[in-house]
Chain A
Amino acid sequence: MKTNFKSLLKVSIIVAATSAMGFSIAAQANANKGGVLSWLTSASPGHFNSAIRSGTATGQPAAQIFASPLRYDAEWNPQPYLAKSWKLSDDGRSLTLNLVDNATFHDGQPVTSADVAFSLMLVKANHPFKTMFDPVTAVDTPDAHTAIIRMDQSHPAILLAMSPGLLPILPKHIYGDGQDIKTHPANNQPVGSGPFKFVEYKAGEHIILERYEDFFIEGRPYLDKIVMRIIKDGANRTISMERGEGHLLTFEDRARDINRMSKSDSLVITDQGYAAIGPLTWLAFNTTRAPLDNKAVRQAISYAVDKDFIINALMLGKGSHSNGPVAPGSPYTASNVETYGLDLDKANALLDAAGFAKGDDGYRFSLEVDFIPGLPLLKAVAEYLRPQLKKVGIKVTPRPSPDFPTWAKRVGGHDFDMTVDVVFNWGDPVIGVHRTYLSENIRKGVIWSNTQSYSNAQVDALLEQAGKETDSAKRIALYQEFQKIVVDDAPISFITTMPYHTVYNKDLRNLPTTIWGAMSPLDEVYWDKQ
């Protein structure tokens, strides 16, 4: 994986293979055309404009409707998409995209460099992930099929930011008509240049997408239609899949249902396809509150939490270990850090040494633990902490929130001791990792900022350097050093990955198991038998 990533950054010109979309062509020589895909999801999107709204509810359908400059394979290698080739300059401060010349939007208008420039600047101004295009100063368009992205500093994350989930190419002639983009009518009636065009959305019920006949990749997509059914109830989703009414289910995290569906002969289950999203479940500490302002206390709690129990008993074996800020599967994942294996003696010793002796009631001190409501797994982890941390003399009281805004208000407002949380990496560390640890990102009132109030000048410097470093090996080394410090400082006790799984019908082929999974186009998916 390291070699792959190295080639990604070092090679300055990558020209696409003989065919415009060179990869996995052989495997699809016998692909059947036609058929309908019934895709079950629990989330209903507010709208479909992924240029101004992130999240999986919007991201999954939007990746079908909008094409993007690049897409990614399962090994973190960029692949041609709307850009048939691209060149990152030696100083890393400009990226030239050479666009295919046969791409059209669903209304028949050609896709040009002006649309790329418009979309990128729109994302920069409106998307919540500000770090993604922060260094971009301008997008030059010397001709209709060349776009040059100019940056005021080297910014290696720029290549990953060309992904379908992060940079959808919007038609300038529709979205650039002067109306406010946040309430633009086309957000609910999207027009893109992706493999499927939008047909209908019934809020909270279903989304219907149809094959775009003039899609710029010859012969694709294979499916005639995608019907996304929004089903809130987990049991209902499971039964629908078992009955064959659903063919694809993504982002399923209910371990019991995953186990149940794994017994069905007609279903295939995989945990591939979530590497770039990098969903981490962790226990975060408010490092400004006593006694959690003491590093030894945070380390002691980390040693006292039995991660194997959480994975095997609470997640029924469906999760996997995560040992640091970067999710497993990324080229930057921590490899040589303290893993805080269960060690109650060490935890007790650390707490004793820190001066927190046990009182008459057997407790040293008491803490509250928050958790995101509506996710049963996080509640289970919070409740597990009560008996587990009692073993080291810490009295833990779970503090439930009635709904998400209440939790967000408490944690975002720094009014908490500890919280069980799920945070996504979103591909490059610059996008989803830096925000949790940079001291300049301690912003009261903003959820998923540095709500731990963690501040370490060395970490700030390392992150700034890593964000700009164009040499892949050096960048990896910087992130390793950063993670070693953070794991030792323990503002967060890293527990597991969120056990997201994809379930699909065994007759479906080419389901995306790339790093972006279902947040990438399903143009290669086909039915083996119809």
Chain B
Amino acid sequence: MPRIKSIAKRSLNIVVLLSAVLILNFFLLHLAPGDPAEVIAGDMGGATLELLAEIRTLYGLDLPLHEQLGNYLSRVIQGDLGYSYSYNLPVTELILGRLFPTLLLVLSAMFLSITVGTLMGVLSARKPNSLFSHVLTFVSLAGYSAPVFWSGIMLLIVFASIWPIFPVSGMQDIFRDPGIINNILDIAVHLVLPVITLSMIYLAQYSRLSRVSMMDVLGSDYIRTARAKGLSETTVLFKHALRNAALPVITMAGLQFSNLFAGAVLVETVFNWPGMGSLAFESILRRDSPTMLGILFFSSLIVIMANLLTDFAYGLVDPRIQKKD
């Protein structure tokens, strides 16, 4: 019974949160001066006052703000996120087409940064003052400090221009050979550089975090007991210590998910990755508010879902949390 109550409470929270996100974003986007009619006029190299007025009427931009909000909310409830000014397509269609590339990029980057980062942390926690540990710290901090757009372009210059091993842009080669296997391989090759770029920042955070929490755990009594039992170092590290040291990492992963989305905007732009990030970048420049609102709505939804999953994962790793719930 308390479980159902908790689920109901959670769902209500989500609805309230999403509505707040929608309304807040709507007002935020309308605070800026100018409107999409100016962008359309800009693209056209000029326009008359009549044409500007026509564009504003066409997209309902001449209505008072509260009416625009009312229209928008009533459409969203019916599942319609509006029509993109700059792409001339329904926003939902536009975003759904971009969802898979972004999720693929973000989840791959997350997987890479968590696994490699945690492994780096565990290894350097074993001998915190060794040269190996210092090198790992240096590498991870360098990755953390470099701005994404810079490291992305550097990777492009090195691995796509000087040694042209990887493709420069996009998710798929338009001229690829047909077939499912070719398709998957093609995407995988395109994925390498953007994923490395995006995961570089987070790699450092996971490795530092898991290093600290491993060092903490490694000093506890039960580890000494495990070692005294004569268990191998690998078993002690990965079976006994890591399970406890992983909790902060999971918390971090949940929090980081939204940051990864933000980082994807720059990475997608540099690598011309056809995801929601590059769509967001484009629609900000074009003041395409229906698309912006749609992207913010979708990303909030994804982040909320990620938080739910984090809580769930917590329960799996540490049964005490599940019981308290």
**In whole Å, how far is A476's beta carbon from the nearest beta carbon of chain B?**
24
Whole-angstrom CA separation of A111 from B40 in the bound complex: 30
Contact with B89, one of A128, A203, A235 (Cβ below 8 angstroms): A203
Interface range for A: 35 or more
A 112-148 binary contact with B (CB < 8 Å = 1; else 0): 0000000000000000111000000000000000000
Chain B residues near A242 (CB-CB < 8 A): 161
A448 within 8 Å of B by Cβ?
A: yes
A263 within 8 Å of B by Cβ?
A: no
Q: Are B169 and A236 neighbours in the complex by a CB distance under 8 Å?
A: yes
**In whole Å, how far is B67's beta carbon from the nearest beta carbon of chain A?**
21
Contact with B38, one of A43, A227, A404, A424 (Cβ below 8 angstroms): A404
A484 within 8 Å of B by Cβ?
A: no
Interface segment, one of A289-297, A332-340, A406-414: A406-414
A202 within 8 Å of B by Cβ?
A: yes
Interface range for B: 35 or more
* In the complex, the 3 A-B pairs of residues with the closest C-beta atoms, listed nearest first: A405-B34, A408-B38, A448-B46
Q: Are B164 and A55 neighbours in the complex by a CB distance under 8 Å?
A: no
B 273-316 binary contact with A (CB < 8 Å = 1; else 0): 01000110110111100000000000000000000000000000
B226 within 8 Å of A by Cβ?
A: no
A 205-217 binary contact with B (CB < 8 Å = 1; else 0): 1101000000000
Q: Which residue of A lies closest to B58 (CB)?
A: A182
Chain A residues near B274 (CB-CB < 8 A): 202, 204-205
Q: Are A188 and B287 neighbours in the complex by a CB distance under 8 Å?
A: no
Q: Which of B8-52 contact A (CB under 8 A)?
A: 32-36, 38-49, 51-52
Chain A residues near B34 (CB-CB < 8 A): 403-409
B153 within 8 Å of A by Cβ?
A: yes
Chain B residues near A412 (CB-CB < 8 A): 38
Q: Which of A392-416 contact B (CB under 8 A)?
A: 402-410, 412
Chain A residues near B41 (CB-CB < 8 A): 128, 408, 446-448
Interface segment, one of B118-126, B210-218, B264-272: B264-272
Tell me whether chain B's interface is mostly helix, strand or loop, or mixed: helix
Chain A residues near B175 (CB-CB < 8 A): 36
Chain B residues near A406 (CB-CB < 8 A): 32-34
Q: Are B45 and A187 neighbours in the complex by a CB distance under 8 Å?
A: no
Known: A208-B174, A231-B169, A239-B156. A405 touches B287 (CB 8 A): yes
A443 within 8 Å of B by Cβ?
A: yes
Q: Which residue of B lies closest to A130 (CB)?
A: B48
Chain B residues near A410 (CB-CB < 8 A): 33
Known: A128-B41, A231-B169, A447-B41. A239 touches B285 (CB 8 A): no
Contact with B49, one of A203, A424, A445 (Cβ below 8 angstroms): A445
Q: Which residue of B lies closest to A205 (CB)?
A: B274
Q: Which residue of A lies closest to B47 (CB)?
A: A128
Known: A448-B45, A449-B46. A205 touches B170 (CB 8 A): yes
- Tell which of B45, B169, B175, B282 has the most Cβ of chain A within 10 Å: B45
Known: A182-B58, A233-B270. A374 touches B47 (CB 8 A): no
A54 within 8 Å of B by Cβ?
A: yes
Known: A54-B45, A55-B44, A404-B42. A446 touches B157 (CB 8 A): no
Whole-angstrom CA separation of A503 from B244 in the bound complex: 58
Known: A44-B282, A404-B39. A426 touches B32 (CB 8 A): no
Whole-angstrom CA separation of A409 from B33 in the bound complex: 7
Q: Which residue of B lies closest to A436 (CB)?
A: B46
A243 within 8 Å of B by Cβ?
A: yes
Known: A47-B88, A205-B170, A245-B168. A53 touches B287 (CB 8 A): no
Chain B residues near A22 (CB-CB < 8 A): none
Q: Are A128 and B48 neighbours in the complex by a CB distance under 8 Å?
A: yes
**In whole Å, how far is A267's beta carbon from the nearest beta carbon of chain B?**
13
Known: A128-B47, A239-B161. A231 touches B272 (CB 8 A): yes
Q: Which residue of B lies closest to A57 (CB)?
A: B43
Q: Which residue of B lies closest to A372 (CB)?
A: B42
Q: Are A232 and B282 neighbours in the complex by a CB distance under 8 Å?
A: yes
Contact with B39, one of A36, A58, A202, A405 (Cβ below 8 angstroms): A405
B 141-177 binary contact with A (CB < 8 Å = 1; else 0): 0000000000001001100110010011110001100
Whole-angstrom CA separation of A240 from B87 in the bound complex: 25
Whole-angstrom CA separation of A44 from B284 in the bound complex: 14
